[in-house]
Amino acid sequence: MTDKAISPLRRRLIEDMEIRRLSPKTQYQYIRHVKKFADFLGRSADKATAEDVHRYQLWLASSGTSVGTANVSATALRFFFKVTLKRHDPRASPPARCSEPGGGRSAAHRGDEHQA
């Protein structure tokens, strides 16, 4: 990445990713997803609320974004909020995407007892 015209916030995000030795491809994807989120908001991503993240995730789902892309986006935003901003917004996690009863967990994982 080049050092010209990089905001202090982006610089901090890049430094945090380098400290954690994230691969260049992961760094590229995280920066791309945080920028896409900021573009959606129309303002800097560091000003976002949990409700903004929720609206963005709804928008991603309604626009036909694949589950994999939505998960990468959620992971990038979680890193951005928790590591770079040191905030712990609860909505920066991937939405449940399973239609199976019990949220996709087996009876053993739900704590249901086996009935013979």
Query: In this structure, what token pair is assigned to residue 106?
Result: 């087996």
| Dist CA 116 CA 88 (whole Å) | 44
Percent of the chain with pLDDT strictly greater than 70? 72
Confidence band of 88 (pLDDT split at 50, 70, 90): confident
Whether the CB-CB separation of 93 and 74 falls below 8 Å is answered with yes
Mean pLDDT for the chain overall? 82
Break the chain down into helix, strand, coil percent, rounded to 5.
60, 0, 40
Report the candidate in 39, 114, 31 with the shortest Cα–Cα distance to residue 80. 31
| 3-58 confidence digits (pLDDT tens) | 578 899 999 999 999 999 999 999 999 999 999 999 999 999 999 999 999 999 99
pTM score: 0.72
| Dist CA 70 CA 78 (whole Å) | 12
